[in-house]
Structure 1
Amino acid sequence: MNGRPWMLDALLAAAIFLVTLGPGQVLRGGLEVVLLQVGLVLPLVWRRRAPLTVFALIAAVAGLQWLAGVQLPADVALLVALYSVGTHATWRRTLAAAAVVEAGVVLASARWAPEGRFLLSVVALTAMSAAAAVTGTSMRTRRAYLAALERDRDQRARLAVAEDRARMARDMHDIVTHNLSVMIALADSAHYVRASAPDKAAAAIGQIAETGRQALADMRRSLALHANDHEPDAADGTGLRAADDLRRHPTPGLAQLPALVDRLRAAGLATSLQVYGDAAQIPAAAQLTVYRLVQEALTNALKHTSPGTRAEVRVEVSSEAVTLEVTNNGTTPVTIGGGHGIKGMRDRVAAYGGTFWAGPFPAGGWQVSARLDLTAPHQRMLQEGSRGGGAA
């Protein structure tokens, strides 16, 4: 029935026909009454498809009925048609249809109302027609409201998907760019010292392997979190591998910053790290954001600065905010800000309602500074509800 509304309307028309047609009317009016009765109720079958046309047909039959001087209870079909116009048409057309019904109310009351009851008849019938029109208009408004809610829900879902994809792209960019940069730097170092210092070359190769394993673990963890699937996949074991990687390589946070700095040092970027405050004060999601910011800033310094560059990382933690500064004294091309890395960092900080700046020093070098606000209520919900703390 839900997929065939015309069947419901056909049942409604049949019910009105049978309820309003009495045997006395047939005996008195004969075939004329039956035809008028059919003309009044039959168009209701199409009241949803063409409400204005159906209303016009029923109003025309009602006019013929008035001219013939036949009073029929089936005139209630006119109220159903008016309701249908209010439900499916604009308020202007509903008002015009109501005016037609009101004209019929006056004519019918003038002809059939008992003596002295004309005004009472007009008031009663007007109230019924107004109720039909208002009810139909209210139904149309309610449907429009529900449709708007559905559109808003769909739009929110699309925005959520777009945001999730953008977040995944940022994660993949940070993971791949950083680890590949470190691996390339280590490979170059191993190549240069393989003859003169084979032990250092072997150590660099070992660090390349460990960096690759770390990259794979980060990628599997990120993909598992974005897929929102924590169950092991029986087909390929992805879920089991992700769980194993999570045990061996915990979600990056402030505790993993020293290891990050060590990898950059091994790759040739002299880096110092200072962390002030208790990392336990901030959620895992915020810690991951700080880690990614430092990772991207140091990766840019490794990729874009001259040899011999020194970098300094300073992180200050409190229960209200996290501030960080990553500076280097190398010669940095101005194009460093034109890629996806700086934009990704800015987006990460914006998710916390914080401030972000990246740019060169007048005397040389480059600085990245950021402040994450942890006090806003919606940010606390974001941090606490983040998928296992991995979707910063």
Structure 2
Amino acid sequence: MRSRLFDAAGVACVLALLYLERHLAPVPILVIGTAMALCLLLRRAYPVPVAAAVYGLAVVQVAVRPAVRMVDVCVLIAMYSVVKYHRRLLWGIVAGGGAAAGVLIAALVEWRSDTGSFWTVFSVVGAVTATVWASAYSVRTRRLYIASLEEERDQLARLMAADERAAIARELHDVIAHSLSVMIVQADGAAYVVQTSPAEARQALDTIAATGRAALTDMRRVLAVLRGPSAVVEERRRPRLADLAESGLALRIEGSAGELGAAEELTVFRIVQESMTNTLRHAGAGASLLVRLERSDGTLAITATDDGPGSVAGAEGHGLIGMRERVAMHGGTFAAGPVDGGGWQVRATIPVSG
């Protein structure tokens, strides 16, 4: 809207110049000048056709009455529009060449009419034309540079969105895989003791229900990221190691992580949770997991060791890859593998604040 008003104001100024010459110009010149000015209203959308029309009308004007008039400034405006707005610079060069030819025509007309020196008119009008072309080229270059910056910004935003989706996928894997593993183990245990020990079976069913509810809460928290900031605020619950106590696995935690930031605490939680998931899946019934937390000199070391057979099927699956990426995000180290004498161990260190 603002550009249209600007174009209309420019056309009004050209028409005002034409009005000042009304006593010196015959009616055909006034009509041609008005047509040249009105063509400029379309200069942004159709720069090349407008330039062609203005150039052609300028030639007709000189043919009707050989003289250079103030309304001929339309030629410079049309040339400026081609250089600035057309996506191909070649057309800007062609428009500049046409304007240069107009400079030569103007100098010849003024020279033959004895109203000015050829070289004076040629140099002055030529300098003005060259300045307008250079100004248009400078504006065009800056506009393209800004457009490239905006495109780069949009590309970075798309890459960040892709990283965020990958993080959400890992988060969902952590939540679903761990919770389902716990529920399956508890369901198998309940089916085994349902006849001989109904109380233990009921306790296993309660654990299944609690795990399912916790999993749904965690999934809502993760998916809230996709719904915007307001939804994230509503689902603010931060997972803690104490939440893993009711998993049905013999879990023992030694040491303390101390005060951690939200991202650091979530990383520690997911490392321990994924270690528990691997133990439940691959260590066999009755396996236990020992987690040691050691904090010193701004570094937290997490060691999770189970007493299973010492193998994890699909060792480079989403679980270990997710843990490795989480640790790498903090600039820490990660390793996982079997230990001597049986068992599987996960070792991670992350820098912590404080």
Q: SS at 2:294's partner residue?
A: strand
Deviations 1:327-385 (A, max 9, x none): 3342365542353222322332232233333344587543323232447xxxx9xxxxx
The whole-number CA distance in structure 2 between the counterparts of 1:108 and 1:274 is: 93
Q: Report the CA distance between 1:178 and its aligned residue.
A: 1.2
Map 1:313-392 onto structure 2 (within 5 A): 313-318=291-296, 320-331=298-309, 335-360=313-338, 365-374=343-352
In the alignment, residue 192 of structure 1 is paired with which amino acid? Y
Deviations 1:198-239 (A, max 9, x none): 44333333333333333333334434455345579xxxxx95
Q: Which of 96, 99, 109 is residue 107 of structure 2 equivalent to?
A: 109
Q: SS at 1:139's partner residue?
A: helix
Q: SS at 1:24's partner residue?
A: coil
Report the identity percentage: 36
1:389 aligned residue: none
1:279 aligned residue: 258
2:81 aligned residue: 84
Q: Which of 274, 277, 282 is residue 296 of structure 1 equivalent to?
A: 274
2:175 aligned residue: 175
The whole-number CA distance in structure 2 between the counterparts of 1:209 and 1:32 is: 92
Q: Report the CA distance between 1:52 and its aligned residue.
A: 1.9
CA separation of 1:225 and 1:275: change in aligned 2, threshold 3 A: farther
Q: SS at 2:24's partner residue?
A: helix
Please say if 1:50 is aligned against 2:46. Answer: yes
| Conserved 8 A contact 1:86-1:134 | no
| Conserved 8 A contact 2:336-2:346 | yes
| Conserved 8 A contact 2:110-2:117 | no
Map 1:166-315 onto structure 2 (within 5 A): 166-224=166-224, 227-230=227-230, 239=234, 242=235, 246=237, 251-253=238-240, 256-257=241-242, 260=244, 262-264=245-247, 266-267=248-249, 270-276=250-256, 279-280=258-259, 282-315=260-293
CA separation of 1:32 and 1:197: change in aligned 2, threshold 3 A: closer
| Conserved 8 A contact 2:76-2:129 | yes
| Conserved 8 A contact 2:68-2:109 | no
1:72 aligned residue: 69
In the alignment, residue 272 of structure 1 is paired with which amino acid? R
Q: SS at 1:25's partner residue?
A: coil
The whole-number CA distance in structure 1 between the counterparts of 2:38 and 2:148 is: 34
RMSD: 3.3
The whole-number CA distance in structure 2 between the counterparts of 1:356 and 1:226 is: 29
Moved more, 179-188 or 288-297: 179-188
CA separation of 1:224 and 1:33: change in aligned 2, threshold 3 A: closer
2:23 aligned residue: 24
| Conserved 8 A contact 2:288-2:307 | yes
The whole-number CA distance in structure 2 between the counterparts of 1:279 and 1:314 is: 13
The whole-number CA distance in structure 2 between the counterparts of 1:120 and 1:34 is: 27
CA separation of 1:104 and 1:346: change in aligned 2, threshold 3 A: same
1:41 aligned residue: 37
| Conserved 8 A contact 2:110-2:116 | no
Q: Report the CA distance between 1:177 and its aligned residue.
A: 1.7
| Conserved 8 A contact 1:82-1:129 | no
Aligned length, in residue pairs:
349
The whole-number CA distance in structure 1 between the counterparts of 2:155 and 2:68 is: 53
Q: Report the CA distance between 1:100 and its aligned residue.
A: 2.6
Deviations 1:19-46 (A, max 9, x none): 22422223xxx23323432453343232
Q: SS at 1:299's partner residue?
A: helix
TM-score (normalizing by structure 1): 0.75
In the alignment, residue 126 of structure 2 is paired with which amino acid? T
1:383 aligned residue: none
Deviations 1:276-303 (A, max 9, x none): 5x511x3122111111111012111211
Please say if 1:130 is aligned against 2:113. Answer: no
Q: Report the CA distance between 1:179 and its aligned residue.
A: 1.9
In the alignment, residue 96 of structure 2 is paired with which amino acid? A
The whole-number CA distance in structure 1 between the counterparts of 2:54 and 2:225 is: 61
Q: Report the CA distance between 1:117 and its aligned residue.
A: 4.7
- Unmatched tracts of structure 2, length 5 or more: none
Q: Report the CA distance between 1:81 and its aligned residue.
A: 0.5
TM-score (normalizing by structure 2): 0.83
CA separation of 1:318 and 1:141: change in aligned 2, threshold 3 A: farther
Deviations 1:287-323 (A, max 9, x none): 1111111101211121122334443322223463333
The whole-number CA distance in structure 1 between the counterparts of 2:121 and 2:296 is: 78
In the alignment, residue 180 of structure 1 is paired with which amino acid? L
Q: Report the CA distance between 1:172 and its aligned residue.
A: 2.3
